[in-house]
């Protein structure tokens, strides 16, 4: 199973943010207080406010966490946080003012007006702290939801690709068994036995292949040759196949069983309908960072005047290309003239990471 890698932005843990953030705050406050260090009362006020704010943040954390876990509404959370931060801000201001008066020996009196004035600053910092808490919580929840949706989409896409691929296998098997039945009716027992043997080899190699949707073009061509060997038993010299493979294309990543339905159509609706047989040309070329693969086959004279219709094979192939490459892929199937039919596929080129034998 090929699932897309989960992408997320790293956010430090609570303790890293807590210790790091308050350490930076303490350094900033103490740094700006250097010119006033000769004032003992001022220094005592600052020295008390920093640890008091740090400890108060844990109480704010408890309130915020309880609100988050109970999924409290916005207005209730806002009221609870502002009230808590306001009370704690007053407590921090009172403790700092006490330190300034009794530890710093400042010549002032303990008044509630001083406490309220100083409390607004502490409360503002704690409100900002709680806002950051909820911001990080919401961001992480959003990331988890995005990852869940991404994984669900990936699983759905995987299931769709498997369903499309498994649809091709019985379709191909039915066509091959139908051909074997034709050989039996024609009393060509030797040909039927050869085709059954080659069909067994093809099914064995197909079933033993790992559950991959994308394989190197070289592997896909090897599978195609096994299929054409089966058809060669029936048609003999009437079936002629040419491969025109461009440089650097054999390592390209292509959908597994990409060419199978195109060649089945070429044999069944083209070569089999021609009295003297015909030729199938399979070509692959790398052009402007896109893979272009064509299957051109002979058809009976006059076939080009009939509008072709997409069967299971072409419809399936279009859907698989769309699942794998989106709008960057394309499949055109039409008559070149009254005696040629061409199926052309294009999609972005990407080298395969799998090792494969290069076809001679």
Kindly list the distances between the CA atom of residue 256 and the CA atoms of 153, 212, 283, in Å, as whole numbers in the listed order: 21, 7, 17
How many other C-beta atoms lie within 10 A of the C-beta of residue 262? 25
- The answer to whether residue 354 sits within a structural domain is no
Q: Considering the entire predicted model, what is its pTM?
A: 0.56
- The answer to whether residue 3 sits within a structural domain is no
Do both 144 and 37 map to the same domain? yes
Q: Could you tell me the end-to-end alpha-carbon distance of the chain, in angstroms, rounded to an integer?
A: 31
Do both 210 and 296 map to the same domain? yes
Residue 71 Ramachandran class (φ > 0 left, ψ -120 to 50 alpha, else beta): left
pLDDT of residue 159: 65
- How deeply is 31 buried, as exposed, middle or buried, from its count of CB atoms within 10 A (0-12, 13-18, 19+)? exposed
Per-residue pLDDT for the chain (360 aa), expressed as one digit of tens each?
A: 333 444 445 556 777 878 887 888 888 777 776 666 667 777 788 788 888 888 888 899 999 999 998 888 889 988 999 999 989 989 988 888 888 787 877 777 788 888 888 888 888 888 988 898 888 888 888 888 888 777 766 666 666 666 655 655 566 677 677 777 877 887 778 777 887 887 777 777 666 655 677 889 998 898 888 888 888 877 888 999 999 999 999 999 998 888 888 888 898 888 988 988 899 999 999 999 999 999 999 998 877 655 555 677 788 788 888 888 888 999 999 888 778 899 999 999 999 887 544 444
Do both 227 and 136 map to the same domain? no
pLDDT of residue 118: 82
Of 104, 130, 150, the residue that ends a domain is 150
Do both 101 and 213 map to the same domain? no
117 in Cβ contact with 92 (< 8 Å): no
Domains contained in the chain, number: 2
Do both 342 and 196 map to the same domain? yes
Do both 275 and 208 map to the same domain? yes
- How deeply is 346 buried, as exposed, middle or buried, from its count of CB atoms within 10 A (0-12, 13-18, 19+)? buried
Mention every residue, 6+ apart, whose C-beta is less than 8 A from residue 198: 226, 229, 230, 233
- The answer to whether residue 79 sits within a structural domain is yes
- Whichever domain contains 310, its CATH number is 3.30.565.10
303 in Cβ contact with 339 (< 8 Å): yes
pLDDT of residue 330: 93
- Please give the residue range of the domain that contains residue 58: 14-150
pLDDT of residue 322: 85
Do both 211 and 133 map to the same domain? no
């Amino acid at each position: 199973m090929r699932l897309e890698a989960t992408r997320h932005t790293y956010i430090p843990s609570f303790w890293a943010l807590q210790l790091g953030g308050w350490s930076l705050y303490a350094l900033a406050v103490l740094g700006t207080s250097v010119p006033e260090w000769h004032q003992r009362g001022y220094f005592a006020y600052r020295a008390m406010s920093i640890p008091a704010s740090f400890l108060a943040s844990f109480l704010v954390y408890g309130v915020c966490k309880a609100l988050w876990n109970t999924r409290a509404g916005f207005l209730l959370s806002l009221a609870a946080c502002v009230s808590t931060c306001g009370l704690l801000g007053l407590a921090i201001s009172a403790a700092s003012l006490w330190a300034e008066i009794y530890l710093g020996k400042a010549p002032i009196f303990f008044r509630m007006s001083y406490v309220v004035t100083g409390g607004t600053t502490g409360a503002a910092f704690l409100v900002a702290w709680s806002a950051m808490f909820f911001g990080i919580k919401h961001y992480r929840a959003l990331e988890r939801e995005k990852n869940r949706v991404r994984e669900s989409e990936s699983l759905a896409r995987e299931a769709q690709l498997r369903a499309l691929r498994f649809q091709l296998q019985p379709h191909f098997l039915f066509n091959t068994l139908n051909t074997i039945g034709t050989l039996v009716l024609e009393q060509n027992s030797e040909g039927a036995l050869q085709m059954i043997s080659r069909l067994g080899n093809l099914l064995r190699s197909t079933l033993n292949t790992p559950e991959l949707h994308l394989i190197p073009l070289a592997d896909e061509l090897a599978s195609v040759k096994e299929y054409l060997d089966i058809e060669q038993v029936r048609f003999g010299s009437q079936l002629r196949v040419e491969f025109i493979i461009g440089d650097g294309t054999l390592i390209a990543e292509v959908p597994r069983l990409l060419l199978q339905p195109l060649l089945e159509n070429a044999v069944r609706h083209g070569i089999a309908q021609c009295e003297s047989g015909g030729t199938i040309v399979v070509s692959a070329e790398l052009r402007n960072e896109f893979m272009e693969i064509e299957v051109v086959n002979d058809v009976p004279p006059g076939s080009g005047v009939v509008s072709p219709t997409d069967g299971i094979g072409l419809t399936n192939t279009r859907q698989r290309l769309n699942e794998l490459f989106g709008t960057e892929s394309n499949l055109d199937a039409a008559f070149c003239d009254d005696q040629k039919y061409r199926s052309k596929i294009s999609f972005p080129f990407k080298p395969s990471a799998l090792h494969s034998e290069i076809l001679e």
